[in-house]
Chain A
Amino acid sequence: MDATERMMLSFTLNGRPVEVDVEPSDLLLDVLRNRLGLKGTKRSCDVEVCGACTVLMNGLPVSSCTTLAADADGQTVLTIEGVAQGGELDRVQRAFVEHAGMQCGFCTPGMVLATTALLNVNPKPDNAEIRHFLRGNICRCTGYIKILEAVKSLV
Chain B
Amino acid sequence: MSEASHRAQPPRRDFFEKVTGSAEFISDVVVPGMLQGRILRSTIPHGRIRNVDVSAALALPGVEAVLTGEDIAGLNNHWGLFLNDRPVIAIDRVRYVGEPVAVVVAVDERTAEDALDLIDVDYETLPFVTDAVEAMAEDAPVLHEKSETLKDFYFKGEAKPVPGTNIFQKYEYAHGDVERAFADAGRVFEDTFSFPMIFHYAMEPHCVVASFADGGLTLWSCGQAPTAIQKVLSRVFDLPLAKIRIITPYVGGGFGGKASVKIDPLVAAAAWKVGRPVRICLSISESMLTCRRLSASITVRTGVRADGTILGKAVRVVMNGGAYADTGPAVAIKAANRAIGPYHVPNLKLEAYAVYTNTVPGAAFRSIGGPQAVWASESQMDIIAGALGIDPVELRYRNMLKPGETVRPDLRPIDVDMAEALGQASQAMSRLDAAGPDAGLMKGVAVGASDPGIMAVAAVLVRLKIDGSVLVISNSVEIGQGIREVLRTFAAELLNQPAEAVYVMTPDTALAPFDWGTGASRSSVMMGMAIEDAAIDIRRQLADMAAAAFGVAAETVSLCPGGIVAGDRQWPFAELLHAHYGIDSGEVIGIGRISPHSRDGRLMQAPLFWETAAGMCGVELDEETGEVRVRRYVSVADVGRVLNRASAEGQDEGAAIQGLGHALSEELVYEDGQPVNASMIDYHVPTIDEVPEDFLTVLIESGTGPGPGGARGMGEGAILPVAPAIANALASRHGIRIRDLPLTPERVWRALQEKKAKP
Within 8 A of A (CB), among B686-734: 686-689, 691, 693, 695, 697
- Is A89 positioned at the interface, with any CB of B under 8 Å from its CB? yes
For the complex, what is the distance from the CA of A39 to the CA of B697, rounded to whole Å? 34
User: Residue B480 contacts which of A80, A104, A134, A146 (CB distance < 8 angstroms)?
Assistant: A104
Query: A135 and B687: CB pair below 8 A?
Result: yes
Query: B657 and A144: CB pair below 8 A?
Result: yes
The smallest C-beta distance from A123 to any residue of chain B, in angstroms, reads 19
- Is A147 positioned at the interface, with any CB of B under 8 Å from its CB? yes
For the complex, what is the distance from the CA of A148 to the CA of B657, rounded to whole Å? 14
- Is B284 positioned at the interface, with any CB of A under 8 Å from its CB? yes
Nearest A residue (CB) for B684: A49
Query: B650 and A103: CB pair below 8 A?
Result: yes
Given A103-B654, A148-B688: A140 in contact with B12 (beta carbons within 8 A): no
Query: A104 and B681: CB pair below 8 A?
Result: no
- Is B387 positioned at the interface, with any CB of A under 8 Å from its CB? no
Query: B646 and A140: CB pair below 8 A?
Result: no
Given A39-B24, A40-B22: A132 in contact with B647 (beta carbons within 8 A): no
- Is B740 positioned at the interface, with any CB of A under 8 Å from its CB? no
User: Residue B11 contacts which of A100, A104, A142, A145 (CB distance < 8 angstroms)?
Assistant: A100
Query: B646 and A100: CB pair below 8 A?
Result: yes
Given A99-B646, A143-B654: A89 in contact with B204 (beta carbons within 8 A): no
**Contact mask A35-49 → B, CB, 8 Å, 1/0?**
000111111111101
User: Residue A102 contacts which of B19, B251, B656, B686 (CB distance < 8 angstroms)?
Assistant: B19
Tell which of A50, A80, A106, A134 has the most Cβ of chain B within 10 Å.
A106
Query: B658 and A140: CB pair below 8 A?
Result: yes
The smallest C-beta distance from B130 to any residue of chain A, in angstroms, reads 25
The smallest C-beta distance from A12 to any residue of chain B, in angstroms, reads 18
Given A40-B22, A80-B21: A134 in contact with B688 (beta carbons within 8 A): yes
Nearest B residue (CB) for A80: B21
- Is A98 positioned at the interface, with any CB of B under 8 Å from its CB? yes
Given A80-B20, A143-B654: A104 in contact with B252 (beta carbons within 8 A): yes
Which residues on A sit within 8 Å (CB–CB) of B646? 99-100, 146
- Is A8 positioned at the interface, with any CB of B under 8 Å from its CB? no
Nearest A residue (CB) for B284: A45
Query: B479 and A97: CB pair below 8 A?
Result: no
For the complex, what is the distance from the CA of A134 to the CA of B686, rounded to whole Å? 12
Nearest A residue (CB) for B23: A105
Within 8 A of A (CB), among B237-252: 250-252
The smallest C-beta distance from A46 to any residue of chain B, in angstroms, reads 6
- Is B285 positioned at the interface, with any CB of A under 8 Å from its CB? yes
**Contact mask A123-141 → B, CB, 8 Å, 1/0?**
0000100111011111111
- Is A84 positioned at the interface, with any CB of B under 8 Å from its CB? yes
For the complex, what is the distance from the CA of A83 to the CA of B18, rounded to whole Å? 13
- Is B99 positioned at the interface, with any CB of A under 8 Å from its CB? no
Which residues on A sit within 8 Å (CB–CB) of B479? 104
For the complex, what is the distance from the CA of A40 to the CA of B16, rounded to whole Å? 13
- Is B649 positioned at the interface, with any CB of A under 8 Å from its CB? yes
- Is A64 positioned at the interface, with any CB of B under 8 Å from its CB? no
- Is A69 positioned at the interface, with any CB of B under 8 Å from its CB? no
User: Residue A39 contacts which of B21, B679, B680, B685 (CB distance < 8 angstroms)?
Assistant: B21
Which residues on B sit within 8 Å (CB–CB) of A61? none
For the complex, what is the distance from the CA of A50 to the CA of B20, rounded to whole Å? 19
The smallest C-beta distance from B10 to any residue of chain A, in angstroms, reads 10
Nearest A residue (CB) for B697: A145
- How many B residues touch A, CB cutoff 8 Å? 58
User: Residue B18 contacts which of A46, A84, A108 (CB distance < 8 angstroms)?
Assistant: A108
- How many A residues touch B, CB cutoff 8 Å? 53
Which residues on B sit within 8 Å (CB–CB) of A40? 20-22
Query: A131 and B647: CB pair below 8 A?
Result: no
Which residues on B sit within 8 Å (CB–CB) of A127? 693
Query: B15 and A135: CB pair below 8 A?
Result: no
Query: B680 and A50: CB pair below 8 A?
Result: yes
User: Residue A47 contacts which of B20, B24, B653, B681 (CB distance < 8 angstroms)?
Assistant: B681
For the complex, what is the distance from the CA of A7 to the CA of B656, rounded to whole Å? 48
User: Residue B284 contacts which of A46, A79, A102 (CB distance < 8 angstroms)?
Assistant: A46
- Is B571 positioned at the interface, with any CB of A under 8 Å from its CB? no
Query: B480 and A103: CB pair below 8 A?
Result: yes
Tell which of A38, A43, A81, A127 has the most Cβ of chain B within 10 Å.
A43
- Is B749 positioned at the interface, with any CB of A under 8 Å from its CB? no
The smallest C-beta distance from A98 to any residue of chain B, in angstroms, reads 6
For the complex, what is the distance from the CA of A130 to the CA of B687, rounded to whole Å? 12
User: Residue B654 contacts which of A112, A142, A148 (CB distance < 8 angstroms)?
Assistant: A142
- Is B220 positioned at the interface, with any CB of A under 8 Å from its CB? no
Nearest B residue (CB) for A105: B18
Which residues on A sit within 8 Å (CB–CB) of B647? 100, 103
Within 8 A of A (CB), among B278-299: 281, 283-285
For the complex, what is the distance from the CA of A136 to the CA of B689, rounded to whole Å? 10
Given A42-B204, A49-B680: A106 in contact with B25 (beta carbons within 8 A): yes
Nearest B residue (CB) for A102: B18
Nearest B residue (CB) for A93: B19
For the complex, what is the distance from the CA of A116 to the CA of B255, rounded to whole Å? 29
Nearest B residue (CB) for A47: B681
Query: A50 and B688: CB pair below 8 A?
Result: no
For the complex, what is the distance from the CA of A39 to the CA of B688, rounded to whole Å? 25
**Contact mask B252-275 → A, CB, 8 Å, 1/0?**
110100000000000000000000
Query: B24 and A132: CB pair below 8 A?
Result: no
Given A93-B20, A143-B657, A146-B650: A105 in contact with B205 (beta carbons within 8 A): no
Query: A107 and B203: CB pair below 8 A?
Result: yes
**Contact mask B8-51 → A, CB, 8 Å, 1/0?**
00011011111111111101100000000000000000000000
Tell which of A100, A104, A134 has the most Cβ of chain B within 10 Å.
A104
Query: B680 and A47: CB pair below 8 A?
Result: yes
The smallest C-beta distance from B734 to any residue of chain A, in angstroms, reads 27
- Is B481 positioned at the interface, with any CB of A under 8 Å from its CB? yes
The smallest C-beta distance from A114 to any residue of chain B, in angstroms, reads 10
Which residues on B sit within 8 Å (CB–CB) of A102? 15, 18-19
Nearest A residue (CB) for B648: A100
Query: B691 and A105: CB pair below 8 A?
Result: no
Query: A148 and B203: CB pair below 8 A?
Result: no
For the complex, what is the distance from the CA of A45 to the CA of B27, rounded to whole Å? 14
Given A104-B480, A106-B204: A144 in contact with B15 (beta carbons within 8 A): no
Q: Which residues of B contact A (CB under 8 A)?
A: 11-12, 14-25, 27-28, 200-205, 250-253, 255, 281, 283-285, 479-482, 646-647, 649-651, 653-658, 679-681, 685-689, 691, 693, 695, 697
- Interface CB pairs A-B, < 8 A, 8: A47-B679, A103-B480, A104-B204, A141-B654, A143-B655, A144-B686, A145-B649, A148-B691
A-B pairs, 4 with minimum CB distance: A40-B21, A105-B18, A104-B480, A106-B252
Q: Which residues of A contact B (CB under 8 A)?
A: 38-47, 49-50, 52, 79-81, 83-84, 89, 93, 96-100, 102-109, 112, 127, 130-132, 134-148
Give me 14 other A-B pairs in contact (C-beta within 8 A), A46-B285, A131-B688, A131-B689 excluded. A42-B204, A44-B203, A44-B284, A93-B19, A104-B250, A104-B252, A105-B23, A130-B688, A135-B688, A140-B658, A141-B654, A142-B657, A144-B688, A145-B695
